[in-house]
A = this chain, B = another copy of it.
Amino acid sequence: MEKRLIYLEDLVVGSVFESAIHPVDAEKIKEFARQFDPQPFHVDEDAAVGTFFGGLAASGWHTAAITMKLLVESLPLSGGVIGAGSDISWPQPTRPGDILRVVSTIMDVTPSRSKPDRGIVKVQSDTLNQDGGLCQRSVARLVVFRRDRQTTQVFLSGNAS
């Protein structure tokens, strides 16, 4: 199934995009953490008990990486999902057995002043587990391209100047 690609003109504040689900298990949590975040609470069930997390928890960066995978699949932007930056928080950790999904809401669409072929889109992506628990909230600034630069310029100059 081919997805219809999305351009800047298609994005409306308030639109919501829902991802597929992604299960997370202890092995995956430890595998990611051994490579990128080798701390006791991310790599060892027993050692994790006496820590801040009280048990094995995924690295926040693992949650972020899974979120990106789900976002790329659920928000098919024409030029790709290209982030300039992101403000990210982890209200609760991802745990072994969690089944994650991502709900993304368009918060803001700002045409670029200097580059008329694109704009910056603010997208809030909530990463939820199977109980609706919020494992991550990110507000990303994405570079999104226009479908038709010429048409849009004419349209804008006719309305805004």
Contacts and interface: CB of A to CB of B under 8 A. Distances in A.
A80 B42 CA distance: 11
Contact of A88 (B38, B40, B82, B86): B86
Interface in A35-70: 35-41, 51-52, 59-61, 64-66, 68-69
A38 B69 contact: yes
B69 A39 contact: no
A7 to B, nearest CB: 14
A23 B37 CA distance: 17
A38 B41 CA distance: 28
A2 to B, nearest CB: 15
A72 B35 contact: no
**Closest 7 pairs (CB-CB, A-B):** A85-B89, A36-B65, A39-B80, A87-B87, A61-B65, A36-B69, A37-B68
Given A36-B69, A51-B80, A85-B87, 19 more contacts: A35-B69, A36-B66, A36-B68, A39-B72, A39-B81, A52-B79, A52-B82, A52-B143, A59-B68, A60-B83, A61-B61, A61-B68, A65-B65, A83-B90, A84-B89, A86-B87, A86-B88, A87-B88, A88-B88
29 contacts: A32-B65, A35-B65, A35-B69, A36-B65, A36-B66, A36-B69, A37-B69, A37-B72, A38-B69, A38-B72, A39-B80, A39-B81, A52-B79, A52-B80, A52-B82, A59-B65, A59-B68, A60-B86, A61-B61, A61-B65, A64-B64, A84-B89, A85-B87, A85-B88, A85-B89, A85-B90, A86-B89, A87-B88, A88-B88
